[in-house]
Amino acid sequence: MNEPHVHSDDERRLTLISVMIVFLLAAMSQTVIATAMPRIVGDLSGLHLYAWATTAYLLASTVMVPIWGKLGDLYGRKVVLLTGIGLFLAGSWLAGLAGEFGDLPLLGGGMTQLIAFRGIQGLGGGALFTTAFAILADLFAPRERAKFSGLFGSIFGISSLFGPLVGGFLTDHGTVILFGHLIAGWRWVFFFNIPFALAAVAMIVWKMPTLPQRGGGGIDWFGAALIVAAFVPLLLAITWGGREHPWGSPLIVGMMAWSFVGVVAFLWIETKVRDPILPLELFANRTFVTANGAAFVYSMAFMGVSSFLPLYMQVGQGIPATTSGLTMLALMGGFVLSSTICGQLVTRTGHFKPFMIGGGAMLVLGAALLCFIGPDTSMLDLAWRLLIFGIGLGPGQSLFSLAVQNAVPFHQLGVATSSSQFTRQIGSTIGVALFGALLTAGLAGELERHAAADPAAQVRVLDMGDLQRMALDRTLHPEEAAARAADPVLRAQDRTVRESFSTAIVHGMIFTLVVLVAGFVLMLMVPAAPLRESPLRPGAKVEPKPEAAE
């Protein structure tokens, strides 16, 4: 058995700081663009391509996660992290320059340029996410790692909260003239990544040790290609279904069928190749299966609630966007607090399962409380319910990954970590799609019911785009909202929309509660193995787990 290399405190501290910086940048890149997009679309003239600036990043970062994880196992985390940062920096710089030089060969106009460059940024972002957690696993024993995993979970919550604020501030106040050239404020949404990423690169090159690697073998490129071929159509179908195209349309059904065939082909290939990108033997590990299953469910719930509750507050309750954002502070505050505290407690005790159970119980309770909101629920009443929901979410953001890392051998650490991250991202995408589909279907049913009871208050069927435009109009044109309130007919219609939307959001919360109960059952099945006191190294064996003795 190889002796573990002992890294100095200085090496570990600076490596940790640099990894936290790049993790924050990758997390914020998913949220910072949201508030800048209206201005970007106005400058680059691509309203019909609005959603693609986000979708391109999501697709590229998600499908590359398992590939980056495998590369890290084979060739070392340091080279993969630096490659990911390089791609992320290139994508950020190019995205900030989109449209500056007019139409370009192959890339076309400014909006298509932005989409392509966001894809490059996403390729790097996928490496930053998965490699960050794998590096933690290389440098710190699972027990010591728990407190740092809690901090990373807090970073994710902070980025979700402050990303839109930073994007809005830079867009509104960042326009400057440098050397006689006007730089629009929204371009700083991409440029601000560059100095922080360069600082992280300097620390990584200077102080990050060359971490142990598995060595030997090679990349299963056929399997990697099948991951892309299977999951890109799946993610697009989930994103477009019910919005761009009906769920039963030939395009959506065709992409779903293609994805199914691709997944089956991928699994078959993984049984044949010598060095699979996703070793199927991992699915015999009960911790790997149950922890990732629970993480998938928790990610569905988190994204469903966090994506649509602000819309509910703005449309269903008629409050300003700023106020809805402040109310969501309660969820993110509980999330950050519980994630940090649980990480510290797990390090002290060496056991993660009790905190998993406590967090899961709080999460189910918070979801149950959110099933009783309505159009007249006060902001304070909603905030304390969101606080409980956020407290329940916090432990799951770090402990599921920690449990998986604690249960796999060293040579599979990167691919196991990336599989956990991949599962979360797929769960988040599916959660948003399912919650949105339930919301629009429930809203349509409620509007029809109100129209049958009171024809004077009849409102046409609204889709998600209509709801988002209503929320935006109320923020940008408050005078029109005041005029509608003065008109009895329009006021009755607005009341119908508010009541219908509030009922539909409750249906979504009931769905979330059912899903979380299933996730809680999966979480109870995660073996309660004690955390190892030292990190594994090549040749070391994983301690026997309870499932192995059964």
pTM of the model: 0.77
Q: Is the pLDDT of residue 548 over 60?
A: no
Phi, psi dihedral angles at 411 (to 5 degrees) = -70, -10
Q: How confident is the model at residue 275 (pLDDT cuts 50, 70, 90)?
A: confident
More confident residue, 385 or 503: 385
Q: What is the mean pLDDT of the chain?
A: 79
> Taking residues 292-303, what's their average pLDDT?
87
Q: Tell which wins on pLDDT, 61 or 254.
A: 254
526-to-118, 135, 253, 402 alpha-carbon distances in Å:
37, 24, 35, 12
Each residue of 26-55: pLDDT tens digit? 888 877 787 677 778 778 877 667 667 777
Closest among 79, 82, 118 to 98, alpha carbons compared = 118
Mean pLDDT, residues 6-19? 76
pLDDT of residue 364: 94
Token duo for residue 380:
């304070």
Distance CA 3, CA 408 (A): 19
With 80 as the cut, is the pLDDT of residue 164 above it? no
Q: Quick one: pLDDT band at residue 543, thresholds 50, 70, 90?
A: very low
Cα–Cα dist 88/71, whole Å:
17
- Is residue 186 domain-shared with residue 306, that is, in the same domain? no
d(CA 227, CA 262): 8
> What residue has token string 């006007």?
182
Select from 180, 195, 215 the last residue of a domain.
215
Range of the domain at 328: 298-537+544-550
Q: In the numeric block, which tokens belong to residue 150? A: 């809690």
126-147 in b/e form (b: 16+ CB < 10 A) is bbbbbbbbbbbbbbbbbbbbbb
Task: Looking at the structure, tell me whether residues 20 and 150 fall in a common domain.
Answer: yes
User: Residue 182: beta bridge partners?
Assistant: 177
CATH number at residue 414: 1.20.1250.20
Q: Yes or no: say if 67 and 127 are a contact pair by the CB < 8 Å rule.
A: no
Task: Specify the pLDDT at position 4.
Answer: 45
Inside any domain, residue 513: yes
Residue 351 lies in a domain: yes
First to last CA, the chain: 27
Residue 178 pairs in a beta bridge with 181
pLDDT at 546 over 50: no
Residue 356 to residue 28: CA distance in whole angstroms? 26
- Domain assignment present for residue 187? The answer is yes
User: How much is the pLDDT for 213?
Assistant: 60
Which of 49, 111, 15, 62 lies closest to 429 in space, CA to CA?
Answer: 62
Question: Structurally, how many domains does the chain consist of?
Answer: 2
Give the angle 435-438-444 at the CA atoms, nearest 5°. 140
Q: What is the pLDDT of residue 513?
A: 92
Q: Are 369 and 330 in contact (CB under 8 A)?
A: no
The answer to the question of residue 238 being in a domain is no
Which of 162, 195, 215 is the last residue in one of the domains? Answer: 215
Is residue 305 domain-shared with residue 168, that is, in the same domain? Answer: no
- pLDDT digit string, tens, across residues 81-120: 999 999 999 999 999 998 888 887 877 888 889 989 999 9
| Predicted pLDDT at 260 | 93
In a domain, 258, yes or no: no
- Position 413 in a domain: yes
pLDDT at 538: 46
Confidence tier at 524 by pLDDT (50, 70, 90)? very high
More confident position, 75 or 513: 513
Given a cut of 70, whether residue 465 has pLDDT beyond it is no
Per residue in 200-240, pLDDT (tens digit) is 888 888 877 776 665 556 677 888 888 888 888 888 888 77
Stretch 402-413: mean pLDDT, rounded? 81
User: For residue 121, what are its two tokens?
Assistant: 């940024």
Q: Is residue 106 one of the residues assigned to a domain?
A: yes
